[in-house]
Structures are given as structure tokens and as C-alpha cells.
Amino acid sequence: APAAARPSSGAGGEPETEGPGRDTALLRHLLLKLRATGPVTVAEYMREALTNPGQGYYTRRGGIGESGDFITSPEITQVFGELIGIWFVSEWIAMGKPKAFQLVELGPGRGTLTGDMLRVFNQLASLLSKCDVSIHLVEVSPKLSKIQALQLTGGKVQSNPEDNSAYMKGVSKTGIPISWYRDIQDVPPGYSFYLAHEFFDALPIHKFQRTEKGWHEVLVDIDPEVPDQLRFVLSPSRTPATEIFIQPEETRDHVEVCPEAGVIIQRLASRIEEDGGAALVADYGHDGTKTDTFRGFRDHKLHDVLTAPGTADLTADVDFSYLRKMAQGRTATLGPIKQREFLKNMGIDVRLQVLLQNSHDTATHKQLLHGYDMLMNPKKMGDCFNFFALLPHHRLVHPDKKHKRESKSPLPPVAGFSELLMK
Ligand code: SAH
């Protein structure tokens, strides 16, 4: 089976020492830069490797799916996107069915997840008929945005490279407007549901190491022993990032911090506080406990993070405790809870049974059961993936609270995070 759960490795997994594409254009660019100005932070290296406009992994390769470098839940089974679509509809109902909502997806990959959600919205057309729905995709990769456009609109899109906000616009096969942006800040304000699936793990991290002389930042430099090879070094003194990101009470010896994730969560939280809505974040991660999780994937195998940059996906576990902190109380937060618990609460078992009953060939049956196992099995994606949500505070205030504060009745249920009592 492909390395779907992306096992954690040391600083770089098994080094790939041979094979084509070791000496990449991006490596040559980085070597020039390092020779000229010295070592760079891991964050800068990761940003170049993933999203360099000419040579980054997502810009050029972006190999999501069975034939690519890594597989994601929406690529495994349609059930995943359907249940997430239902989550948003359920929140829309819980918040009093506002007249319009924007569905904003960060890093939509091949557009499969959006497509599955759009199918749910279409099936619930009678419920949503008076609601003005629009889709807003935040994607930096020109290659992946083309794949998304093809998947969602059949390729009927208008490109507006001059437009400072939406660089592409189209209409979904089900008649819903879709716009593409490079940055969340370009998405117009308004009541919005935000979705980030395997997005935050792709954002650049800083790495810090505790030594006898205090904290040092891990940097990337040229290996003086091996020509054209990169290696990790420690900053000779404390860097500005060390002062900002390491808490005095930190007990770990190695820490990864993703400031860009913090900035994006702050933006989402402010937008939800001002205009209403909710955000759902799903990713593999931890709650401020893990240390070295930086790793690479190519052809579904671990790939040394410093070898042939631009040819492999680089990723680090999401620190949900940091995301919670960066919401800064502007919204309430829920989770992280394990994927298998979230999907169970969302009714994945019932959905599976319906699909099994409706299909009559054994190949489809097998595929449905395989997909269920990949998503739910604690040894596969069931335990290491987590769901985390931002919700307006009022969404979690019990309606009884105004009257009797000592009320024992539970909080209003939020789908996925607690078992749904109402059918
Ligand atoms: N959500 C999809 C794809 C995950 S891969 C799935 O689950 O299948 C990460 C996605 O984020 C890709 O679409 C990638 O191009 C995009 N991405 C990575 N860095 C980004 C950034 N800084 N801004 C916007 N999109 C980014």
C-alpha cells in the first residue's frame, strides 16, 4: 500500500543517493544563493522547494494521487468529501441558514474534494435553493489550478492575470461560480466557510534545536565534504526567530514552528469574527508534543528532504496547539479530534452501507471497503489525521445559558465533534 499515513522519519528519511533528477535546476539556484549569502532557514528552503514560481514542487509537479507522490483522503474515496460537504451544510443550518455563503478552500489540490462537496450541495438543492453559494479557491500552483479548473468547470474558465485579486474565474458544472486566488487576503469579505485539507502541513516551518548553550535555529547550508550537496547546520548564535518562537517553559529539545500557519489562522479567525462562518482544518499533526517531523515524499516513498529539491513533496506535522493559540480568542476552537472519530460522528458507517447497497459489482464493493479502511483504520489514516474547527463564540453558547447558568444540558452539538443526536 502507498505510504498514505506518511510515517514520521528522522531529519530526512532514507536518503536517495542515486537516480535521475538529483541535480535539479532548483538545487543549482539554491547553491548559488547559499554560496553568495550563506545558510538559509529551513522555512526559506521549504518555501523555495515547494512554491518557487519556476521550479517549486507544487508549481511544476504537484503529484497528488495514486500515480503521483502521495495520496490524500479525497483521492481515496468520494465519501470523504461528501461528509465534509454535509458538515458545512449542517453548520449553515445551525447558524440559521444565512442567505449566502462563500466556500473558501485553501490548497484544493486536484479539486476532487471541492467536486465531491459540490455534488452534495447539488443533491441538497431544495434545501439550499434560496442560498447564494460561491466557491473561492486559494491556490498558488498554476499547474494544479488548471487541473482544478478542468475537474470543476470542464475547463471553461476565464483567466485574468491582470486582476490583482481573482486570477481565474469559471462556473461549476452545477452552475456555481468559482474564483481562484493566490492569497486568502484576496478573497472578498463575507459570510464564509473555510476548508483546509492537507494545506497547513505544506507551509514552511522553522526548526530549533536545544543545545548546552541554549536554543539555536537549524539552517540549510552547503556540505563542504560533498560537492553540490546540502546539509543541516545550527545557527552560530540565537536568531531573531529563536527569540520570538521558543517559549521559556518549552520542555522539548527540538521544536518546529510554522509562522505562516499562525498568520493564516489569525486571518481566518478575524474574518469569522467579523463576517461569520466557520473553518474546518484537517491534517496530520499533534498538540504541541512532537519534535522532528520534517520529511519528504516522492513516488509514495520517504525521500531525503535535502536531496533534489523541487522533485519531492516536503511536509511537517501541524501543531494544533499553535493554531489554537493563534486564533487568539477571536473565535472558539474545537478539536483536534481523530479523523476516525470525526468521520464516525459524521455518519460514515451509514453512508458506506448505502453505497454498498446501491452498487452491484464486486470491484466497486472492494473499492468502497478499501477506501473506508484507509480513512478509518487507526494504523492507516484514522488516528494520525485530525480535525480542528474555528467557530464564532455564539455558536457554542448554550441557548439556555441566559436563563439558568447551572443548566446541565450539553452544549449545542457541532457535527463531527460530538455524536449527532438529531437525525
Ligand atoms: N487539499 C488537497 C491537496 C493537498 S496538497 C488534497 O487533500 O488532496 C497541498 C495544496 O496546497 C496544493 O494544492 C498546493 O499547490 C497548495 N499550496 C501549497 N502551498 C500553498 C500556499 N502557500 N498558498 C496556496 N496554496 C498552497
Compute the distance from residue 319 Cα to the ligand 1 centre, in Å.
Answer: 17
One-letter amino acid for residue 114 of the chain: T
Of 16, 11, 14, 9, the C-alpha closest to 229 is 16
pLDDT the model gives residue 12: 39
Compute the distance from residue 107 Cα to the ligand 1 centre, in Å.
Answer: 3
Angle, CA 320 vertex, CA 314 and CA 326 arms, to 5°: 105
Compute the distance from residue 53 Cα to the ligand 1 centre, in Å.
Answer: 14
Is a pLDDT exceeding 80 seen at residue 263?
A: yes
Report domain 59-203+258-394's class.
alpha beta
Report residue 409's pLDDT band, with 50, 70 and 90 as the boundaries. Answer: low
pLDDT in tens, 170-201: 999 999 999 999 999 999 999 999 999 999 99
**Ligand 1 residue neighbourhood (C-beta within 6 Å):** 50-51, 58, 62, 64, 72, 74-75, 107-109, 113, 138-141, 144, 197-199, 202
Atom of ligand 1 nearest to the CA of 105: 1
pLDDT the model gives residue 375: 98
Beta strands in 292-384 (DSSP E): 295-298, 301-303, 313-315, 318-319, 332-338
Domain ranges for the chain, please list them: 59-203+258-394
Beta strands in 182-265 (DSSP E): 192-197, 206-211, 214-222, 230-234, 254-257
For residues 109-126, give the mean pLDDT. 97
Concatenating the DSSP letter of every residue in 69-121 gives SB--HHHH-HHHHHHHHHHHHHHHHHTT--SEEEEEEES-TTSHHHHHHHHHH
Q: Choose the residue to mutate in 69, 104, 181, 199 for probing ligand 1, maximizing ligand atoms within 8 Å of C-beta.
A: 199
Q: To the nearest whole number, what is the mean pLDDT of the chain?
A: 91
Atom of ligand 1 nearest to the CA of 112: 8
The residues near 90 (Cβ < 8 Å, ≥ 6 apart) are 415
- State phi, psi for 264 to the nearest 5 degrees: -65, -40
pLDDT the model gives residue 162: 80
Compute the distance from residue 22 Cα to the ligand 1 centre, in Å.
Answer: 24
Is a pLDDT exceeding 60 seen at residue 276?
A: yes
Percent of the chain topping pLDDT 70 = 90
Compute the distance from residue 213 Cα to the ligand 1 centre, in Å.
Answer: 38
Segment among 11-15, 180-184, 258-262, 356-360 with least mean pLDDT: 11-15
pLDDT in tens, 36-53: 999 999 999 999 999 999
pLDDT in tens, 348-367: 999 999 999 999 999 999 99
Give the residue, by CA position, lying nearest to ligand 1 atom 11.
Answer: 107
Give the residue, by CA position, lying nearest to ligand 1 atom 21.
Answer: 140
pLDDT in tens, 300-351: 999 999 999 999 999 999 999 999 999 999 999 999 999 999 999 999 999 9
Compute the distance from residue 413 Cα to the ligand 1 centre, in Å.
Answer: 30
Beta strands in 212-292 (DSSP E): 214-222, 230-234, 254-257, 277-286
Atom of ligand 1 nearest to the CA of 65: 8
Task: Give how far Cα 189 sits from Cα of 168, 233, 286, Å.
Answer: 18, 43, 31
Check if the beta carbon of residue 257 is closer than 8 Å to that of residue 206. yes
pLDDT the model gives residue 16: 38
Compute the distance from residue 197 Cα to the ligand 1 centre, in Å.
Answer: 8
Atom of ligand 1 nearest to the CA of 58: 15
Q: Which residue has the cell 479530534?
A: 337
Segment among 14-28, 55-69, 235-249 with least mean pLDDT: 14-28
Compute the distance from residue 162 Cα to the ligand 1 centre, in Å.
Answer: 23
Task: Give how far Cα 32 sits from Cα of 29, 36, 37, 51, Å.
Answer: 5, 6, 9, 18
